[in-house]
Each structure stands twice: as C-alpha cells, then as structure tokens.
C-alpha cells in the first residue's frame, strides 16, 4: 500500500539539528500535518482531526452505508464514488494490529530515514507466511474481476478469506480506512474505496491486498483487465509499468542505495511518454505497516539508506498516461489523476538476502500468468527474485507450469 510524500520544510527543521543541512528531503517521516500530499497517512489524519478523541468511528462501527458523491466536485475522469456497505468486523480471537480498535497506530517509526530494521530469522519466517497469504488472497480477488462484479463484492470476498485464515485485513480501520482492501479503477491512482459500482469491460483495476498474520504484514498489489481485453493505450501503460517495476526490483541487492531505485523507474517510463507519481511512495514493512525505508519512484537524492540483508519493503510505482499530479476526492482517500488519464501500479513485499532479493508476495504455481509477464522484455514469466533460491523456483514454475523456456 502506498505512502505519502512529505513536506521539505519540516525535514529541514529537523535536519538542521540532526543531520547535514545540505540534504533535501521529500519523504521520510511517517506522520506530519505539514504535508500537502493527500496520502494514505495524511487522509487518515484529516479524518481523525475532525473528531473528538474517543468519539470517532471505532473498529467495526461504521454507519449502515455511505454515499460520498459531491456533484459539485470537479472529478477528473469517468469514475465516481458509489455507495459503501458497513465497515466489517473481525472476530476477537484473531490477533489484531495496534490500530484495529482506535484507528491510530501506536508503534513508533524511526525518525531518521536511513535507520532501517533488519529482520530476524523468526521475523522473516512470519513475513513469509503473511506474504504467501497476501498473494493467495490477491489471486483469488483477481479471479473475481469481471464485467458486472462490484468492488464491494471483491472486498467482501477478500475480508472473508483473510478471516478464514486467522489473519487481519491490514487496511481495515488503519487511520480509519473503511474497507479491507483498496480497489483502484482506471484513473484512480491509489486508495480507491470498494463500493457498488459494477466493473465494465475494458476497465483496468489495481487490487491492493495487505494481511496481518503472525504479527507481521504482507503487502502486494497487481493490475487486472476487466473482461480480459483493453484498448491498446491501456495495454501499453500496463506493460510499461510492469517492466519499470521489474527493473527496480531486479536492482535490489546488499550495499546499493534505495534512492537509486527511482531513477530506474522514471527513466524507463518517461522515455515511453509516461509519468511517475511523486505524491506517494513505497515503504518499509514488517510488524509495522508503514516504516522506513521510503521508496521514491522518481529520480531523487534523498538519504533513505543503504540496502542490507534482512530489510523488507515494498516497491510500488504508480505510472500515468498523462499528468502524474493527483486529485484528492472528498472522501479523503481516493487519489486520481488530475486529467482523467489512466494509471497503473504493481507491488511486492521484498526481502533482501545476502545474494540478492526475494519477493515474499511472489506468485505461486496456482497464480495466473498475465500478458505483461508473457511479453516482458525485462523478464519472461513470473518473477520471484534474484537470489539463488528464487531463481530456481521461478525457473521451475515458468517451465513446467507456463511452458516458458527461461
């Protein structure tokens, strides 16, 4: 799930006290009012700020339904908010993150952007479990994508599958987000709220799934084409976004710098006529949903740290057909392109290993193979990482399952 871009002035104030004044920063703290970006974190804060302490919507206590349409709002594209069903509940016996009841995360994140927690073997095993479940839920939700199906129906199925596996849907009540997953259709860049709008043939949709299991989060997202066919422009957008994302994922290895990932993405997409969103970014993930490092998907020189074995984080570029500037809807969550152009995104939770990187939310033998994986010039077939174990596994699946001689 995406994170926010933060205000430079706040960091400069802190940086003058704690680091070299010559650095500039656009994203590293995880909660500040100074930001102008309508990010996941800031939107939750805006929602919280309107409510007296202790009186806000708690866990599972949303109104019966909401219809957040504002007819006077200058929506940029064709997507409009629909009706939302009540916020769902989670059985008390299922372990829950610290924000499940209050909507406010209590865990503290490192103040400095280059302080990154290396996971222990026990934590890594827990993240493998969470990541695998997140992948299985995402695959299930992807199979539901079809004309006439509503995103609310997908959210219901996502919620039920996660609960059935004794896990918690991480987005639910995180800073009071009302649903169990994010569903972003066409011009929606990120944080689309599931509602009663039926999907239409030719739509493209990003399904963003995060689960909390064994005390850790597994976070991933993927694009799907409604009805299996879309226009050529959307097809090229999807292929370009996927290839740019893979270029960044393949770059990951110990001792490299997180700041260098953005240039790989931006250079690839700009050369093909696309733009990369700067208002949202990838993030560290583990027992805390969003933490260091911040992963910026554009060329930058931010001091976001150096890669090392045991780091876990997401890469999740949002690529747009036209302008990469975003428009925040009145629901304080949904972010769309300002010109109505379509946007695409892919995401994995990644683990840095001594010999490369592994996708903890990587595809399995049962996962569908999408056209961009068959036609990619960066990597043919499913991609699971660059470590020895990941390469052996993906080669086996691609050959035996998908008939690809890679």
Dihedral pair phi/psi, residue 302, rounded to 5°: -80, 145
Predicted TM-score of the model (pTM): 0.87
CB 337 within 8 A of CB 327: yes
What is the distance of C-alpha 393 from the center of its chain? 25
* Residue 52 token pair: 């007296």
The length of the chain, given as a count of residues: 406
d(CA 268, CA 274): 9
Residues paired with 206 in a beta bridge:
184, 223
* Residue 329 token pair: 């809807």
Check whether 290 is labelled as a binding-site residue. Answer: yes
- Per DSSP, 66 falls in state B
Check whether 316 is labelled as a binding-site residue. Answer: yes
d(CA 363, CA 220): 11
Please give the pLDDT value at position 35: 32
Residues paired with 356 in a beta bridge:
353
CA angle (367, 147, 142) in 5-degree steps = 20
- Domain residue spans of the chain: 121-376
Q: State the DSSP string of 324-383.
A: --EEE-TTSS-EEESS---EEE-BEEEEEETTEEEETT---TTSPPPHHHHS-SS-SS--
CATH architecture for residues 121-376: Alpha-Beta Complex (3.90)
Check whether 139 is labelled as a binding-site residue. Answer: no
Please give the pLDDT value at position 70: 58
* Residue 7 token pair: 């205000």
Please give the pLDDT value at position 69: 56
d(CA 186, CA 383): 25
CB 315 within 8 A of CB 295: yes
How many CB atoms sit inside 10 A of residue 49's CB?
8
Check whether 203 is labelled as a binding-site residue. Answer: no
Digit-by-digit pLDDT tens for the chain (406 residues) are 875 544 444 343 344 343 333 333 332 223 222 233 334 333 333 333 333 333 333 222 233 345 455 578 999 999 999 999 999 999 999 999 999 999 999 998 899 999 999 999 999 999 999 999 999 999 999 999 999 999 999 999 999 999 999 999 999 999 999 999 999 999 999 999 999 999 999 999 999 999 999 999 999 999 999 999 999 999 999 999 999 999 999 999 999 999 999 999 999 999 999 999 999 999 999 999 999 999 999 999 999 999 999 999 999 999 999 999 999 999 999 999 999 999 999 999 999 999 999 999 999 999 999 999 999 999 999 999 999 999 999 999 999 999 997 6
Check whether 191 is labelled as a binding-site residue. Answer: yes
Check whether 45 is labelled as a binding-site residue. Answer: no
- Per DSSP, 297 falls in state S
d(CA 64, CA 87): 8
Please give the pLDDT value at position 3: 56
Which among 206, 48, 220 is positioned nearest to 134, based on CA atoms? Answer: 220
DSSP run (H or E) holding 388: helix 388-400
Please give the pLDDT value at position 155: 98
Q: What strand order describes the sheet that includes 275-276?
A: 275-276, 318-320, 343-345
DSSP run (H or E) holding 140: helix 121-144
What is the distance of C-alpha 202 from the center of its chain? 23
- Per DSSP, 291 falls in state E
Task: Say which residue the tokens 């226009």 belong to.
Answer: 231
Return the SS3 of 129.
helix
Check whether 255 is labelled as a binding-site residue. Answer: no
């Amino acid at each position: 799930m995406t994170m926010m871009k933060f205000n430079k002035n706040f960091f400069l104030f802190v940086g003058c006290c704690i680091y070299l004044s010559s650095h500039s920063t656009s994203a590293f703290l995880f909660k500040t009012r100074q930001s102008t970006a309508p990010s996941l974190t800031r939107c939750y804060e805006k929602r919280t700020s309107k409510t007296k302490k202790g009186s806000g919507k708690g866990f599972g206590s949303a109104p019966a339904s909401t219809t957040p349409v504002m007819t006077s709002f200058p929506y940029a594209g064709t997507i409009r908010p629909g009706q939302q069903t009540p916020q769902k509940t989670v059985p008390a016996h299922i372990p829950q993150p610290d924000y499940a009841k209050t909507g406010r995360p209590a865990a503290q994140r490192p103040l400095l952007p280059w302080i990154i927690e290396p996971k222990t073997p026990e934590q890594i095993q827990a993240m493998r479990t969470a990541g695998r479940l997140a992948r299985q839920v995402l695959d299930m939700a992807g199979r539901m994508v079809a004309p006439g199906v509503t995103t609310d129906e997908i959210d219901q199925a996502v919620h039920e599958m996660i609960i059935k596996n004794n896990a918690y849907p991480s987005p639910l009540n995180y800073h009071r987000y009302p649903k169990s997953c994010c569903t972003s259709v066409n011009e929606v860049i990120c944080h689309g709220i599931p509602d009663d709008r039926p999907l239409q043939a030719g739509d493209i949709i990003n399904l963003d799934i995060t689960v909390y299991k064994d005390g850790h989060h597994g976070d991933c997202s993927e694009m799907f084409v409604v009805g299996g066919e879309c226009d050529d422009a959307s097809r090229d957008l999807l292929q370009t976004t996927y290839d740019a994302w893979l270029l960044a994922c393949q770059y990951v290895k110990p001792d490299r710098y997180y700041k260098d990932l953005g240039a790989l993405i931006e250079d690839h997409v700009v050369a093909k006529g696309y733009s990369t969103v700067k208002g949202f970014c990838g993030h560290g993930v583990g027992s805390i949903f969003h933490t260091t490092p911040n992963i910026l998907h554009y060329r930058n020189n931010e001091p976001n740290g150096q890669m090392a074995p045991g780091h876990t984080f997401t890469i999740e570029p949002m690529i747009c057909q036209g302008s990469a500037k975003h428009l925040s809807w009145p629901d304080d969550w949904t972010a769309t392109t300002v010109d109505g152009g379509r946007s695409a995104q892919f995401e994995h939770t990644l683990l840095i290993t001594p010999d490369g990187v592994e996708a903890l939310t990587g595809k399995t033998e049962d996962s569908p193979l999408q056209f961009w994986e068959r036609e990619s010039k960066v990597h043919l077939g499913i991609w699971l990482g660059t470590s020895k174990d990941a390469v052996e596994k993906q080669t086996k699946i691609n050959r035996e399952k998908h008939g690809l001689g890679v």
